[in-house]
Amino acid sequence: MAFDRELLSNALPAYDIGEELGAGGMGVVVSGQHRQLDRRVAIKQLPVSDAADPEVRRRFTAEARVLASLDHPHVVPVYDFVERDDVCLLVMELLPGGTLRSSVAASDGFTAPHAVAVSLACLSGLSAAHRRGVLHRDVKPENMLFAASGVLKVADFGIAKVLGGPSTAITRLGQVIGTPAYIAPEQVRGGGLSPATDEYAVATMLYEMLASVLPFSLEGDDLALLFRHVYEKPIPLRDAAPDVPDPLAAVVMRALATEPSDRFATAESFGVALAEAGTEAWGPNWLAAEQVPIMDAGPIIGAAGHPTAPVRRAAPTVAVAPAGSVPATGDREYPPSYPPTRGHEEIAARTSTLGNEGIAASAPTRGNEPIAATPETTASPGTAAPTSPAVAPSARRRLITIAVVVAVILIVVLAIFVFPKLFHVYGSTGSLGRSRGWPVAPSVPAPRAWHA
């Protein structure tokens, strides 16, 4: 789908329209720059045929409002949207770090710990969206994008819903809404969707990163692949990748269960199980060694062996930009869950090789930044500010000792200087009252004896 520069310029008069960044079934993505804010953005235009459909435009407007309200460091923020008779546009953060697929290709494959760490960042963003009642419906490597800082962000939230509506994945004369390789069985059947639907897709991505193959054979066409998702069991992960630790393989296969009720209840619980499996397989410091930024994921980070901290606040602390990195315009920095140990230069070098593939996305969040691997230092909107930690027992003992020493010194001082003076005054006057000049009763002579 080619884009019409004049059409976009008329729809977004405040922006300079750049070059096409990518195109696909969900529309075309173009770069742009806000003139007054000097902010570079990615502009996604839905297919013209869909924009001409009043029902699609209605869904687009409803979804865009929800997406723009999402506020999470692992979700691509939506800055603006336009809906009118001839065009539907989403204006989003520009992410120059490339897609997850391009990152895997550039690295010649991820190690198992790194693949799990990246999946945890993805699950953190999905969990935040699910808590707001928003499902992604089309999780795949092309929709996982990296900021210049190396932070992974989930893109294209809700676009499958806008184009496909509440019907099955196969709509409009057989067009597949979603990606057959990662689509959940209930999505193919047209059943009720839930967080487990997105979990299935994340598990499929992780399976592919661990084994370099998908859990189902790709023989035949897309319809044959959809049939396998519904009626066949996935190839056991240990069969495809014998080196994957048993605890990790068990968690991935559970998330790939055909029935949603057999998967994890939430994306967060899936992430916790993955983190625990990683700790069991690689030790308590495995996540820190990977240096994958993970944010707003306290329970997940805690399960990986890191101490948790209060949730981030509505007004986040601005972090210092990584040295040597090229920040993407519009990025808002967030404090990482734990301080990264890998140098920023290495992150920048890795992300700089990814190119601009898939730089767009449609989705909402707050900012972008390191997805480190430990607790955040701020709190969620509406929550009380964290209280100061209790004094450690050793510190309390030191305070008591100091207090006792001070008390003893005061007693000694009193004994040396004050008490002797009091005794001297008393001895010289014979009475404390007389020494102060108080009146003393006169002596009364003894009474005479009466004689008869």
The pair of three-digit structure tokens given for residue 299, joined into one six-digit string: 């329970």
Which residue bears the tokens 């898939």?
358
Single-letter code of the amino acid located at 77? P
Catalytic residue among 38, 53, 108, 138: 138
**Distance (Å, rounded) from C-alpha 2 to C-alpha 47?**
9
Q: What does the CA dihedral 226, 227, 231, 233 come to, rounded to 10 degrees?
A: -60
Calculate the CA dihedral of residues 254, 257, 261, 265 and round it to 10 degrees: 40
Known catalytic residue at 221: no
Q: What's the rounded Cα separation, in Å, for the pair 129 and 135? A: 7
Q: Can you tell me whether residue 19 is helix, strand or coil?
A: strand
> Looking at beta carbons, which pairs linking 19-23 to residues 24 or more positions away fall under 8 Å?
21/356, 21/358, 21/359, 21/360, 22/357, 22/358, 22/359, 22/360
Contacts with 173 (C-beta within 8 Å, 6 or more apart), sequence order: none
Q: What span, in angstroms and rounded, lies between the C-alpha atoms of 48 and 54?
A: 12
Query: Is-contact 171 165, C-beta < 8 A?
Result: yes
Q: Round to whole Å and give the CA distance between 198 and 210.
A: 18
Q: How many CB atoms lie within 10 A of CB 293?
A: 25
Catalytic residues: 138
